[in-house]
Copies of this chain bind each other. A is one copy, B any other.
């Protein structure tokens, strides 16, 4: 029941280029090849890729996914580390939610500075951006690229 990469992509809702990327990154083992050098995937690959995609959908970075895959590959190990990893990740998401909520409040406050102005010269928004320095309070907000992006 070997399938080609396009079929695997369909079944896992993941692009072929991403599958090749995961293989290159070591997340997916190299599959067998056909005589024409096409990759041939087994059921185990499907399961593993689903696992990876599931983790990604939960916002985990690949480094985190790797850790979970290692746990998955050694089933006799203590699972407290998995708990810890997930707890840490949940904490990060919580922090991000709070930061973004704060950011939203700041943006709305700024937005309300332009009510009725007609030209840029009298625009409260640009003036707020130019002089209202109490908004630059949190450096983390600059890293609004999510949980795992380098800030």
Contact = CB atoms under 8 A, between A and B. Distances in A.
A126 B54 contact: no
B93 A136 contact: no
Given A97-B100, A130-B51, A57 B141 contact: yes
A79 B129 contact: no
A133 to B, nearest CB: 7
Interface in A111-143: 111, 114, 117-123, 125-126, 129-130, 132-133, 135-139, 141-143
A13 B126 contact: no
A112 B37 CA distance: 44
The dominant DSSP class at the A interface is: helix
Nearest to A128: B54
- Most chain B CB neighbours (cut-off 10 Å) among A90, A123, A139: A123
A47 interface: yes
Contacts of A97: 97, 100-101, 104
Interface of A: 13, 47, 50-51, 53-59, 68, 71-72, 74-79, 82-83, 86-87, 89-90, 93-94, 96-97, 100-101, 103-104, 106-108, 110-111, 114, 117-123, 125-126, 129-130, 132-133, 135-139, 141-149
Given A57-B139, A59-B141, A145-B148, 7 more contacts: A13-B139, A57-B142, A59-B103, A72-B130, A74-B120, A79-B119, A79-B122
